[in-house]
C-alpha cells in the first residue's frame, strides 16, 4: 500500500513550521526558515503569485533518479518514499540533471560531497508514523496517508470547491505519478512547475534505447564476423595464388622482386 503526502497550497499560511521540523529531524543548520530546498533544508516555502508554495522531493512512483543512477543509490521503497544511499553515491550528478522536478541538491562546497533531498522521513513512515513536516503543520496543509485515499480526497476538494481550486491534482499523473500530490488555487505553471511532463515515467525513454543492446550485440557481432569471413576468403584466395606464382617462378625462373 503506497503512501503519499497531500499538500494543499490553499491551506498553507507560511508559518515555516514544516521547514523547522524537517531541519530538526535531519539535524540541518541553520535553524531558520528556508524558501527553497537546498543542502541545508529538504523543503522550502516561498510566496509566489500570492500563494505559499512549498516544494520538496515528489517521491515519484517510477523515479527518474533511481533509474539513472549507475550504482543504484536511489530506491523507491514499498511504502512510498524514495530514499538515497550516500554510501553508494559516486557523485556523477546524473540524478540532478535528470530529475524532471529539479529536486536533488549537491554539496558543492565539501571535499566528500553527497546528494541531498527529502526522504519523506522513511524511518518514521516505516514505523507507522508520519513525516516530521506533516506532524508539525498546524493547518493540515500537509497530510499523509494512503495514496489512493489522498487522491480521492484531493479530487473531492476540487469538486466541492470548484472556484477555489485549479482543476488538477499535480502529481496524479506527472512523470507517471508521484507520492507527493499538490492542490493549488493558481495554475501550477505560473508557480514554476513543469506542465508538459506527460503521464509516462521518464525512465521509459532510456529503456527504449537500452533494450536494443542485446540485438546490437548479437546482430552486430554476427554481421562483423560475416564481413571478416567473406573478406578473409578473398585474402586467402589471393595468398594461395601468390604462392602458386612463387612456386612456378622458383621452379626455373628468376627470383621474384622485393614486394612493394
Partner 1 sequence: MRGDGPSRFGFWKGVMGAALAVFAAVAVLRYTRGLGAVTNLSDQYPWGLWIGFDVLCGVGLAAGGFAITATVHLFHLRRFEPIVRPAVLTAFLGYLLVIVGLMFDLGRPDRIWHALVMWNPRSVMFEVAWCVMLYTMVLALEFSPVVFERFNIRAPLRILRGVTVPLVIVGVLLSTLHQSSLGSLYLIVPHKLHPLWYTPMLPVLFFVSAIAAGLAMVNVESRLSARAFGRHLELDLLADLGRVLLVVLGAYGILRFQDLARRGAFAHLALGRIEGQMFVLEIVVGLLAPMAILAVSRLRRSGGGLYLASLLVVFGFIMHRLNVSLTGLEAAAGVRYFPSWMEVAVSFGIVAAGFGLFALAVKYLPVFSAPLGPTPDRPAGARRPLSILRPRVT
For residue 53, give the nearest of 132, 170, 174 by alpha carbon.
170
Name the one range near partner 1 by CB under 8 A: 16-24, 101-109, 120-128, 152-160: 101-109
Per-residue x/- mask for partner 1, residues 168 to 187, rule CB under 8 A? --------------------
224: contact with partner 1 by CB under 8 A: yes
Residue pair 46/34 in contact by the 8 Å Cβ criterion: no
Number of residues that bind partner 1 (CB under 8 A): 58
227: contact with partner 1 by CB under 8 A: yes
Q: Phi and psi of 129, rounded to 5°?
A: -100, -175
105: contact with partner 1 by CB under 8 A: yes
Name the one range near partner 1 by CB under 8 A: 45-53, 106-114, 121-129, 142-150: 106-114
Q: Phi and psi of 232, rounded to 5°?
A: -65, -40
Question: Judged by CB, which is closer to partner 1: 102, or 148?
Answer: 102
- Total number of residues shown for the chain: 260
Per-residue x/- mask for partner 1, residues 44 to 83, rule CB under 8 A? --------------------x--xxxxxx-----------
| DSSP state for residue 175 in the 8-state scheme | G
16 exposure class (CB count in 10 Å sphere: 0-12, 13-18, 19+): buried
27: contact with partner 1 by CB under 8 A: no
96: contact with partner 1 by CB under 8 A: yes
Which residues contact partner 1 (rule: CB under 8 A)? Answer: 64, 67-72, 88-94, 96-98, 100, 102, 104-114, 194, 196-197, 202-203, 205-210, 213, 216-217, 220-221, 224-225, 227-228, 231-232, 234-235, 238-239, 259-260
Amino acid at each position: 500500500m503506497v503512501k503519499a503526502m497531500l499538500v494543499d497550497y490553499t491551506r498553507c499560511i507560511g508559518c515555516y513550521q514544516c521547514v523547522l521540523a524537517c531541519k530538526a529531524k535531519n539535524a540541518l543548520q541553520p535553524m531558520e526558515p528556508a524558501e527553497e530546498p537546498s543542502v541545508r533544508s529538504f523543503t522550502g516555502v516561498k510566496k509566489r503569485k500570492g500563494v505559499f508554495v512549498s516544494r520538496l522531493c515528489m517521491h515519484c512512483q517510477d523515479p527518474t533518479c533511481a533509474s539513472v543512477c549507475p550504482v543504484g543509490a536511489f530506491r523507491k521503497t514499498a511504502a512510498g518514499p524514495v530514499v538515497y544511499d550516500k554510501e553508494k553515491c559516486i557523485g556523477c550528478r546524473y540524478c540532478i540533471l535528470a530529475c524532471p522536478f529539479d529536486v536533488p541538491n549537491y554539496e558543492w562546497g565539501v571535499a566528500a560531497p553527497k546528494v541531498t533531498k527529502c526522504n519523506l522521513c522513511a524511518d518514521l513512515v516505516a514505523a507507522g508514523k508520519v513525516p516530521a513536516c506533516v506532524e508539525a503543520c498546524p493547518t493540515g496543509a500537509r497530510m499523509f496517508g494512503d495514496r489512493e485515499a489522498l487522491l480521492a480526497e484531493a479530487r473531492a476538494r476540487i469538486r466541492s470547491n470548484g472556484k477555489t481550486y485549479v482543476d488538477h491534482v499535480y502529481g496524479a499523473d506527472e512523470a507517471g505519478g508521484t507520492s507527493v500530490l499538490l492542490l493549488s488555487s493558481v495554475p501550477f505553471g505560473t508557480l514554476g512547475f513543469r506542465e508538459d511532463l506527460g503521464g509516462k515515467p521518464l525512465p521509459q525513454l532510456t529503456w527504449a534505447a537500452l533494450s536494443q543492446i542485446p540485438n546490437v550485440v548479437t546482430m552486430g557481432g554476427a554481421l562483423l564476423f560475416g564481413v571478416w569471413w567473406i573478406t578473409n576468403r578473398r585474402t586467402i584466395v589471393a595468398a594461395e595464388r601468390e604462392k602458386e606464382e612463387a612456386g612456378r617462378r622458383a621452379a626455373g625462373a628468376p627470383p621474384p622482386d622485393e614486394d612493394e
